[in-house]
Amino acid sequence: MFTTLLIANRGEIACRVAATAKRMGLRTVAVYSDADARARHVAACDQAVHIGGSEPRASYLRADAILQAALQTGAQAIHPGYGFLSENEGFAQACADAGIAFVGPPVSAIAAMGSKSAAKSLMEKAGVPLVPGYHGDNQDPDFLKQQADIIGYPVLIKASAGGGGKGMRIVESAAQFTDALASCKREAASSFGDDKVLIERYLQKPRHIEIQVFADTHGNCVYVFERDCSVQRRHQKVIEEAPAPGMTEERRRAMGEAAVAAAKAVNYVGAGTVEFIAEPDGRFYFMEMNTRLQVEHPVTEMITGHDLVEWQLRVAAGEPLPVTQNDLTFSGHAIEARIYAENPEKGFLPSIGTLNTLDFPAHVTFTNGDIRIDGGVQAGDTISPFYDPMIAKLIVRGADREQARARMVQALGQIRCVGLNTNIAFLRRLMLDDAFATADLDTGLIERRNASLFPAAQATPPATLALALAALLADRGLTHSNLKHNRVQTDPWAQADGWRLSGRSTQSFELLDQGELIRLVMERDGSNWTFVHGTEHRPMEWDVTQGSQGRHTVRVRLDGTDTTATVIVRHQDVHVFLDGSVTILNMHDAVEHAQDEGSDHGGSLTAPMPGKIIALAVKAGDTVKSGDTLLVMEAMKMEHTITSPIDGTVTEVFFGTGDQVTDGAQLIAIAKAD
């Protein structure tokens, strides 16, 4: 076994690998970019080396800088994590040439599976079933369209060298094909340096099931059961679980043996994942093989009790697998939810900002518990535009699927995150959705259940408003309340209870609730308090326990019902965490609101986040219709298409292709049509 391991990655996977390496007694080395100088993975390792600028191309994709860091620190092995250089055959070869162990498969296996097209041809020869499609080398757009026409719509365009949902588009008709192909090729070239694509028939109501395989240098190869990764948004996984619901032993064995056959066909070594698309009737087809550890590996660890990173390190050091196929068993059910900085209500648009508050429920960092958190950021860190917007992975285990789901609902409701938009409330709705609860799963579940997963906004309940008001009063220094039954103040001058000589007092706040201006008032008359909202007057009792940094535990009694919540007052926002969801109310700025009301934003478009302009579809003088594509931005490793909100004429384009833009920058001006 080597003694020093360099981890050529960042964020939660770098922290995850470091934890196992340290438990095994290995010295760990981190690498970091300008943006990650104070990142959590840097502190998690024994040594850290700066390798370049913030953009991945200037740091985490620089094989030369990473190899130099390994040589400089005496690392005998490099763990690439996932993403970045983890499936780059050139990097794996460079490691071998430098005499450094690459914790991954042989170069030949990466090369064989690195091209989806070549991999599918290889799998066809090995007898692994394939989805009908075109996987050849001819990349002429007209030829590819002809192939799509032959296959029949809808078709799926996929980047041949891709993964993670990047460079992938569903095309419903021939009229959409050309634009979708161009977008796919741009995204593929940007993410993987290769714009080659393949075309496949898009299956209706398919499930995405993957098999974890593991092989060593002694000829042993096993499958470590399956994971269901069907719940996706933008072709990226959101929820993963193991075992797959409804999986029979017969089908598990068939898929497992097919996965092992795929691995043996390329003389595989190490951890890999063979991904299948499965139809409702039980038929399954090979999609691709990921020659690395998967983001969702924790659910397999939770049900088997095996540390897959430890297996990787031992296999890379030449040791045999610790188990045979007959030794492998699992128990219970595990579910993983990916917590992202994004806004589900706005098409899952990534969110950028500082994590002012980030609290998780009590958890473990490996398998000896029912709740596990794999994270790479902490309170005070910034989610930047340079990398994937994942905050953490929440993994839970139960005796069965229903218990695991219930624990996930509870755990999601205990997270406190303030500072940017997240998908936490969406994930909780997903867990509670009837389709997910009954395991009616397929890759289109989120779109299919749109109405229940994205319910119309409702008026904020009076109890929630009362909780916010009590917290705001506490922020003003009013801490005494009529629910503090067991707290006796002996000094009357120490009582911050809003006492007035006349016995009466009124305090009010103006807030924006979902964009609507509301006024909340607390009236006091002697020992009686009244909550006033609009025309409603309700007797109220309340108690606030203050914490640090604007955090309060608030209890109110309204209409005879007690409600308790965590309320965080941060800058101009009041966050009420109640019943597993969060309500955000904004302190009203009268001057700013008046300016907003007097502005007409219909004629200008601003950048929704920092990013790069990668394609312009219009120029000054062009006539556009509502919904027309204006430009395409690249941010956080994904393309985002900006469309016209109105019919009109483009009067000015403020940036060109290749320009970097900041959040909120005006991109295009449009004169509204008469």
Q: Which residues are catalytic?
A: 292
Contact 87, 81 (CB under 8 A): no
In whole angstroms, how far apart are CA 424 and each of 77, 335, 614? 37, 15, 31
Amino acid at 352: I
CA-nearest of 184, 138, 121 to 157 is 184
In whole angstroms, how far apart are CA 579 and each of 74, 393, 421, 542, 564? 51, 21, 18, 18, 9
d(CA 514, CA 444): 29
Contact 155, 202 (CB under 8 A): yes
Contact 300, 212 (CB under 8 A): yes
Q: What is the dihedral of CA 9, 15, 17, 19, to 10 degrees?
A: 160
CA-nearest of 208, 267, 214 to 238 is 208
Helices (H), 455-609: 462-475, 590-597
Specify the pairing of strand 4-7 against strand 77-79.
parallel
Q: Kindly provide the residue ranges of all beta strands, DSSP E only, lying in 174-318, ordered along the sequence.
A: 197-201, 207-215, 221-228, 232-233, 236-237, 239-242, 270-278, 284-290
Phi, psi of 196 (to 5 degrees): -70, 140
Amino acid at 508: S
Q: Which residue has the tokens 């003389």?
A: 267
Q: Kindly provide the residue ranges of all beta strands, DSSP E only, lying in 515-580, ordered along the sequence.
A: 516-525, 528-533, 536-546, 551-558, 561-570, 573-578
Q: Which residues contact 33 (CB under 8 A, 6 or more apart)?
A: 10, 50, 51, 52, 53, 54, 55, 56, 58, 59, 60, 386
Q: Which residues contact 179 (CB under 8 A, 6 or more apart)?
A: 629
Q: List 274's β-bridge partners, or say none.
A: 211, 289
Which H/E stretch holds residue 259?
helix 249-265
DSSP annotation string for 383-406 = E-TTS--EEEEEEEEESSHHHHHH
Q: How many CB atoms lie within 10 A of CB 311?
A: 21
What is the dihedral sign for C-alpha 337, 343, 349, 351?
A: negative
d(CA 580, CA 303): 26
Which H/E stretch holds residue 632?
strand 629-635
Contact 358, 414 (CB under 8 A): no
Amino acid at 542: W
What is the greatest pairwise CA distance in the chain? 91
